[in-house]
Structure 1
Amino acid sequence: MRTMLMAGAAGLSLALAVALPANAAELKILAGGSMTGPMKELGPRFEKATGHKLTFVYAGTPELIRQAASAPFDAGFVPIPVVQSAQARDKFGPSVPVGRVGYGVSVKAGARKPDISTVEKFKDVMLKAQSYTLYPESASGAIIAKTFEKLGIAEQMKPKLKAQANPAGIVKAVASGEAQYGVFVTHVLTAPGLEPPVPFPAELDHQLVFVGAVAKASPNAAAAQAFIDYLRTPEAVAVFKAKGVTPG
């Protein structure tokens, strides 16, 4: 078994290989929508190395909570508010931090970047913005909304918002000129067609933490745990860093 795994993918550690079950499993993985990029790269690598098959359900925080509370799944790679929610926390086993991301503002490629180096400058740029876009139905959207409330500009920002149904829509809206600013987690805004994002000022830059956890009711707990363990291997860490996600 160990020889087959090592031949499948050199990036998996020996400890992970030993832990893998003898039979391939089909795993349903709940994942934060903004982690689509890293998972599209890491998922196939894990499948090739182990023989397990992964089906990802990408969604924002409220939908992930509903999914976890009402439908079978095997593991989650989700924003920490999901596993802390009253509705879903009993569905997850112990969670471990996998990655974290900060927040920023981006503009269309070639456009002038905003100066948001201080809280007052950030507030001024937002108030003068013609439009901005984000994904409201997500943990990131909720944190940004709370930031606007903290700054006392929530009501002024509401008519400027061009809401998106997923993170990909944010990139498309900014790159096409539909929205002047993309305001979201920085790894989503690091994309073709956009200028590299400008980070929030330090006083406002919360870190959104993503955790991995196996579902308590999963019939494939060993395979699900192997996937969570894989997300913390050097191979996965390298992919996260390349995608703008800080490991751990």
Structure 2
Amino acid sequence: MLAIPLKRSALLLATALVFGTSTAAEVRVVSSGGFAQAYKNLAGAYQQQSGDQLISGWGPSMGNTANAIPARLARGETIDVVIMVGDALDKLMAEGKLEPGSKVVLANSPIACAVPQGAAKPDISTLEGLRQTLLQARHVAYSDSASGEYIKHQLMRKLGIAEQMQGKAAQIPATPVGEIIAHGEADFGCQQKSELLPVAGIEIVGLLPQEVQLKTEFSAALVRNAAAPEAGRALLRFLSAPANAAAIAATGLEPVAARP
């Protein structure tokens, strides 16, 4: 019997540990926007190494839109893995929609702000700078997901400008805030940095000041009664592997890689 070279043997063992030995499967995944770019960047490598095919969909972690992850699960869509805001995932787990014990924390996402490409960049590094920038903007946009809920219900009050912002600050359903800015529908907007980075036609001016920053946890889990549970678990192991932390960080997220 031919011996397998040592290096190749080690590679086969490592691949087996991450992906298991099951045959190729279709894995249906729905990711919210905050982790979407990291997922897209890693999907090709996962498919090549595992042999599985990822069938991907997108939707917010919360809200009332038809493609929101809770709405998809409520109407019985076939989904194996969800990637979403940690708090919203925990709620679905408590409701029995997700497989107990399958949650993996992938990354934390800070909120950043942006202006149209070529516009003057305001200084938002201080509370007063952020306050004046918001007050002077003609139209401010923020999302209908975790970052937008925080901006709407907490940040404006913390800055003492909730009343002044009424009528010119709008929560945007479904559409990324960066696209609203790029299309000229807002001259200033804030969302998780990882969702702003991929958008053309805007410039990120900075993160919210530390005193009012909110970092959103992004996690993934297996859906209860998933059609491809073993392949889904293999994907969860892959996404949370320390080797993929750099690819996640490149999208503006702060990775929380699993311990070896």
TM bin (shorter chain): 0.7 to 0.9
- 2:89 is matched with 83
Aligned-residue RMSD, C-alpha: 2.7
Separation of aligned partners in 2, 1:164 and 1:49: 38
Q: Deviation at 1:69?
A: 3.8
**8 Å CA contact 2:114, 2:206 repeated in 1:** yes
In the TM superposition, what are the counterparts of 1:5-154 in structure 2 within 5 Å? 14=14, 17=17, 19-62=19-62, 63-71=68-76, 72-85=78-91, 89-92=95-98, 93-94=100-101, 95-136=103-144, 138-146=145-153, 147-154=155-162
Q: Measured at CA, do residues 160 and 40 of structure 1 come closer, stay the same or move farther in structure 2, by a change above 3 Å?
A: same
> Percent identity among equivalent residues?
26
The whole-number CA distance in structure 2 between the counterparts of 1:27 and 1:42 is 14
Greater shift, 224-233 or 37-46, is seen at: 37-46
Letter in 1 for 2:190: V
Contact 1:37 1:243 in 2 (8 A): yes
Q: CA 1:224 to 1:157, structure 2 compared with 1: closer, same or farther past 3 Å?
A: same
Q: Deviations over 1:72-130 (max 9, x none)?
A: 42111111122222686422232121011101211122222122222233222212211
State the 1:227 CA deviation: 0.4
Structure 2 CA distance, aligned partners of 1:244 and 1:218? 30
Instruction: Give unmatched runs, 5+ long, in structure 2.
Output: 63-67
Taking structure 1 as reference, are residues 198 and 148 closer, same or farther at Cα in structure 2, changes over 3 Å only? same
Residues 1:44 and 1:76: Cα distance change in structure 2 (over 3 Å): same
- Map of 2:189 onto structure 1: 182
The CA distance in 2 between the partners of 1:80 and 1:203, in whole Å, is 22
For the residues of structure 2 that align with 1:18 and 1:153, how far apart are their CA atoms? 50
Q: Counterpart of 2:83 in structure 1: which amino acid?
A: F
Contact map agreement 1:33 1:167 (CA 8 A) in 2: no
SS at match of 1:196: strand
Q: 1:238 aligns with which of 233, 236, 246?
A: 246
Describe the SS at the equivalent of 1:197: strand
| Secondary structure in structure 2 of the residue aligned to 1:125 | helix
Unaligned runs of 5+ in 1: none
- Supply the distance in 2 between the matched residues of 1:205 and 1:241 (Cα, whole angstroms): 18
Distance 1:32 1:205 in 2: 20
Q: Secondary structure at the match of 1:156?
A: coil
Q: More helix by proportion, 1 or 2?
A: 1
- State TM-score, norm by structure 2: 0.80
2:65 corresponds to which residue? none
The total of aligned residue pairs comes to 239
Greater gyration radius: 2
Contact 1:102 / 1:199 at 8 angstroms: preserved in 2?
yes
Q: Which amino acid aligns with 1:160?
A: K
